[in-house]
Amino acid sequence: MSAKKEEPLSPLEELGPRTGDETPHELIYRSYLLGRIHFGTKIAILNRPGSPVYNAYENWGPIALIAFVVVYTMLTSSIAAGLTLLLVLALAGVMILPKWVLKKLRMRVLEQAFGSEPGWSDLWKHGGISIRLAADPGVCCDGPEGDWESFARRHLDLPDEPEGAPQPAGRTA
């Protein structure tokens, strides 16, 4: 007897069909999942102390580890070996660390922004996020000065699929 494995629902399927009484935050999340908006993160604002998503350990931990390994090598081996290791690790750090930190920061921003409306509001007040319409990138709303709630009501309060749009295979209208 084999049990059929159920596939997990996509975030859009978990939301279910539009009801017409969605909050602006729900409209933004739904539009993001549908690809109707582009979600921007301002790294210079978000990756510093005081930001709700800043993590000092991700920024300074790898640098401290590199320094420890270099000093340990200098003390236990030779200064030349320590300096060579410093050069190699510094180059690797310059090439890898910024991308790693940005990826981790972006994931935390997405989790906080779309996890709850208070998380979204906190990021918006801090000024680290922006939204733009995918169809017209000139239509945008930047935090903290933009009114994201009216932007969502004005530009994103749309049906999930346009009337008469072809349905994907396996779905019925």
**CA–CA distance from 41 to each of 93, 103, 126, 170 (Å)?**
23, 11, 11, 36
pLDDT at residue 163 in the model: 45
CB-side neighbour CA atoms (13 Å) of 77: 13
Q: Could you tell me the residue ranges of all domains in the chain?
A: 23-155
Q: pTM (2 decimals)?
A: 0.76
Residue 103 is encoded by which pair of tokens? Answer: 């990826």
Chain centroid offset of residue 8 CA:
21
pLDDT at residue 20 in the model: 75
Instruction: Print pLDDT tens along the chain (173 aa).
Output: 555 677 777 777 777 777 777 889 999 999 998 889 999 998 889 999 999 999 999 989 999 999 999 999 999 999 999 999 999 999 998 999 999 999 999 999 999 999 899 999 999 999 889 999 999 989 999 989 999 999 999 998 887 765 444 544 444 44
pLDDT at residue 153 in the model: 92
pLDDT at residue 7 in the model: 78
